[in-house]
Amino acid sequence: MKLLLTSSGLSKRAIGEALQQMVGKPASDCKVGFVPTAANVEPYNKTWLIAQFQQLQRYGFYDIDIVDISAAGVDWRGRLADVDVLWLSGGNTFHLLDQVRKTGFDKWLKENIESKVFVGGSASTMVMTPSIEIALPIDDNSMGLTDLSGLGYVDFEINVHCDEAGLNATEEYAKNRPNDVYALDDLSALKIIDGDVEVISGGSWRLYKKQ
């Protein structure tokens, strides 16, 4: 299983090059399935979302299908079946997890993730962990999600967009958690291949071990 869990996409050359290496063939021969579902409920400026498409193209990924799993009548299973890179955007973590469950995407992912490189950014990075509770002070949980269990593809939690205050807040949060917790700034990511974790960072990150 290959996961690239980022705070802000391919924000550093080393992160982009990691994705190129993980796909195992030229980026120009790869198909990307881009799932923007987490961004649907986010208001205002979407330059951060546009930047993710630009990042993909910067590293040679031009065949990009935008597939919203929550859109009525969309055969997202068929369209995502043969993608090489499955990229889930950032946005609202609670909305994303809610839709992942309601649409059956969680079950589909379990059956298909071994054949793809999964790229998470922000909300979609946190969803891959055992719990999204760390998003409570950040995202609007207007849908009233009470089961905050994530998909559990890794055995640690992740906080994203961490400046110095975010690093400190994550340290406090980690003191009461049953899992290790990573804190990543926007220049950091985790490259995970078959359970082996490598931190890629041009900025600041921390790992807070469970106590």
For the chain, domain boundaries: 2-208
Dist. CA 118–CA 177, nearest whole Å? 26
Name the maximum alpha-carbon separation found in the chain.
Answer: 47
Average pLDDT over residues 86-111: 98
- Kindly report, residue by residue over 123-145, the tens digit of the pLDDT: 999 999 999 999 999 999 999 99
Residue 173 pLDDT: 96
The mean pLDDT of the chain is 97
Residue 9 pLDDT: 97
CA dist 166 to 11, 41, 163, Å? Answer: 18, 23, 5
Residue 79 has pLDDT above 90, yes or no: yes
Contacts of 3 (CB under 8 A, 6+ apart): 117, 118, 119, 120, 128, 153, 154, 190, 191, 192, 193
Structure tokens at 203: 């900025």
Q: Tell me the CATH architecture of domain 2-208.
A: 3-Layer(aba) Sandwich (3.40)
Residue 60 pLDDT: 98
Average pLDDT over residues 79-97: 97
Whole-prediction pTM value?
A: 0.97
Residue 105 pLDDT: 98
Dist. CA 78–CA 44, nearest whole Å? 31
- Reported as a pLDDT band with limits 50, 70 and 90, residue 211 is confident
Average pLDDT over residues 85-101: 98
- Among residues 53, 36, 143, which one has the least CA distance to residue 91? 36
Residue 77 has pLDDT above 90, yes or no: yes
